[in-house]
Amino acid sequence: MRFVFLAIVLGFPLLDLYATVRFARWTGVPVWAWLSVSLAAGLFLLHNERLAFRANAVDAMHGQQPLLRGLLDSGRKVLAGFLFLIPGVVSDLLALVLLALPINVGHDLGPRTAAAGQPGRRAIDGEFRRMD
């Protein structure tokens, strides 16, 4: 069983690289271009997710966002970033499929007020004064 797992782990990048060379020959784009764009996309995705994870964790601690939603979304993006870092077209396609999955579609992207989109709830207006 260990050898099967080892063969899969070591064989996938080699088969992926072979598929990339064949795909590059078919499209006429050099292999280094495919690999460098994939590497740049992976690094960019991991860097942005590192920054976004902090904000999601703070939002979850303050009760503005469910904790599981942020962790699931962040884990999906980190896994896609690592798949982009693996050299090959097949791993890039897996990363794109992982990013395209509609897992975290529970919120809209526009700015929201306190009670926007929540029927039956009203925003409370008032003044704030700190009492020390």
Q: Residue type at 102?
A: P
CA distance linking residue 117 with residue 110, whole number of Å: 11
The pLDDT, as a whole number, for residue 44 is 93
* Contact predicate 35/20, CB 8 Å: yes
Alpha-carbon distances of 125 from 46, 114, 119, 120, 122, rounded to whole Å = 40, 10, 17, 16, 9
The pLDDT, as a whole number, for residue 109 is 45
Domain segments of the chain as ranges: 2-100
- Contacts of residue 12, defined as CB under 8 A and 6 or more positions apart, other chains included, come to 91
pLDDT in tens, the chain (132 residues): 788 888 888 888 888 889 988 988 999 888 888 889 889 999 999 998 888 888 877 877 887 777 777 778 888 888 999 999 988 888 999 999 998 887 765 554 445 555 555 566 666 777 878 887
Tokens matching residue 7: 């063969």
